[in-house]
Amino acid sequence: MTDKDKLDKKSPKPETPQRRWVRVVRAVFRPKPLMTAALLVCAVIFWPMLQANLPDLTQNPEYRVTVADIEVNEPPHWVPHEFVEDAVERVGFPEEMSLLDESLTLEIAKLFARHPWVAEVKEVRKASFPARLVVTLDYRRPVAMIEKRTGLYPVDASGVLLPKEDFSLSATADYPAITGVRSTPPSLQGEVWDDPLVQGAARIAAALRTDWQTLDLRSIRVPPRTTEEIKLQDAQFSLLTSSGSTILWGRAPGVKHEKELTVTQKIDRMKTYLADYGSFDAPAGPYEIDIRQWQQISRKQIPASHDAQLPKEKF
């Protein structure tokens, strides 16, 4: 037998159509593929019928929540007790909700984010047994009242307008007044007052919050506008004391300027003055007290008639 004959004997026979069909049938009609195909067919046919006959769990009381089932982290004392009910009423949210609603946590987050007392929605999660929604919020804190002819307007440290109806007349007296504001308040509560002078004064009020009463301060005065546009870095603010003296504060916190003292330095200077003299109007005030200089504090007496100008004292 030649080598050619041996190669011909070992080469496979060509596959005929009949043999190919047999091989395909054997592959398809194995137990596992048949079972998989049967399950798919059953799912397509019977799932709609099964789904139609399943109980609607969204209507099950165990999965339903109301406004009373919304738990928020304890609001601070300046936020009204009916805060949750007010938030729901503002956006017209439904009285009942289903925990099975996949969009529920997002909708609840949007609900609270719209409220002027909420600075940030930290978390919204579903809880069961009993069914409830647990919401974690970061609340805004009022720092000052903007004095306008139309009334007092509370703002936070960023100049966001807060609901003035949530403050009693006695409560408004607990906050620094900001005077000299010419701009109009925002049309909606929860919006930033679009005035750099308001925003700068609010920053000062926030920085002085813990020392306001100790320093016997009464109000923050914004500088007069010389042009329609004013930049915060150019604005110089002053403080009015309860005794009638004026303290030249300078620029708002956060404004970078090479000659500006820090907030801590300014507060320390006012405390030192009070420790030395006992009052901002002693011994012969009221005074205009300038704490902005690097080397020293200067003051001049505020005359009864503004025509007279007394020399400054340095100490």
State which of 91, 117, 139 marks the end of a domain. 139
**The predicted structure's pLDDT at residue 58:** 47
Residues 134 and 231 in one domain: no
State which of 106, 139, 172 marks the end of a domain. 139
**The predicted structure's pLDDT at residue 24:** 55
Residues 152 and 282 in one domain: yes
Residues 128 and 203 in one domain: no
pLDDT tens digits along 54-96: 444 445 556 688 888 889 999 999 999 888 888 888 777 777 8
Q: Does the pLDDT value for residue 11 go beyond 80?
A: no
Who wins on pLDDT, 233 or 4? 233
Q: What is the DSSP string of the chain?
A: --HHHHHHHHSPPPPPHHHHHHHHHHHHTSHHHHHHHHHHHHHHHHHHHHHHHS--GGG-GGGEEEGGGEEEPPPPTTS-TTHHHHHHHHHT--SEEETT-TTHHHHHHHHHHTSTTEEEEEEEEEETTTTEEEEEEEE--EEEEEEETTEEEEEETT-BB--GGGS-HHHHTTS-EEE---SPPPSSTTSB-S-HHHHHHHHHHHHTTTTTTTTTEEEEEPPPPSSS---GGG--EEEEETTS-EEEEESPTT---TTPPPHHHHHHHHHHHHHHHSSTTTTT--EEEE---SS--EEEE--SSTT--PPPEE-
Residues 81 and 222 in one domain: no
**The predicted structure's pLDDT at residue 139:** 97
Who wins on pLDDT, 38 or 104? 104
Is residue 303 one of the residues assigned to a domain? Answer: yes
**The predicted structure's pLDDT at residue 29:** 57
Is residue 24 one of the residues assigned to a domain? Answer: no
Residues 270 and 135 in one domain: no
The whole domain housing 215 covers 142-314
Looking at the 3D structure of the chain, how many domains does it have?
A: 2
Q: Other C-beta atoms within 10 Å of 88: how many?
A: 19
Q: Does the pLDDT value for residue 212 go beyond 90?
A: yes
Is residue 269 one of the residues assigned to a domain? Answer: yes
**The predicted structure's pLDDT at residue 87:** 85
The whole-chain average pLDDT of the chain stands at 84
Who wins on pLDDT, 228 or 6? 228
How many CA atoms within 13 Å lie on the side-chain side of 132?
9
Residues 116 and 202 in one domain: no
Residues 90 and 232 in one domain: no
Q: Averaged over 157-181, what is the pLDDT?
A: 95
**The predicted structure's pLDDT at residue 307:** 46
Q: What global pTM score does this model have?
A: 0.76
Residues 131 and 188 in one domain: no
Is residue 53 one of the residues assigned to a domain? Answer: no
Q: Does the pLDDT value for residue 115 go beyond 90?
A: yes
Q: Residue 112: give its domain's CATH number.
A: 3.10.20
State which of 116, 139, 162 marks the end of a domain. 139
**The predicted structure's pLDDT at residue 57:** 44
- Band (132; pLDDT cuts 50, 70, 90): confident
- Band (9; pLDDT cuts 50, 70, 90): low
Q: Other C-beta atoms within 10 Å of 79: how many?
A: 22
Is residue 47 one of the residues assigned to a domain? Answer: no
Residues 166 and 129 in one domain: no
Q: Averaged over 98-118, what is the pLDDT?
A: 90
Residues 213 and 127 in one domain: no
Q: Does the pLDDT value for residue 3 go beyond 60?
A: no
Q: Averaged over 207-214, what is the pLDDT?
A: 96
| Under 8 Å between Cβ of 120 and 73 | no
pLDDT tens digits along 263-287: 999 999 999 999 999 999 988 889 9
Q: Does the pLDDT value for residue 213 go beyond 60?
A: yes
Residues 176 and 282 in one domain: yes
- Band (216; pLDDT cuts 50, 70, 90): very high
- Give percent of the chain with pLDDT exceeding 70: 75
**The predicted structure's pLDDT at residue 262:** 94
Residues 184 and 261 in one domain: yes
Q: Does the pLDDT value for residue 146 go beyond 60?
A: yes
Is residue 229 one of the residues assigned to a domain? Answer: yes
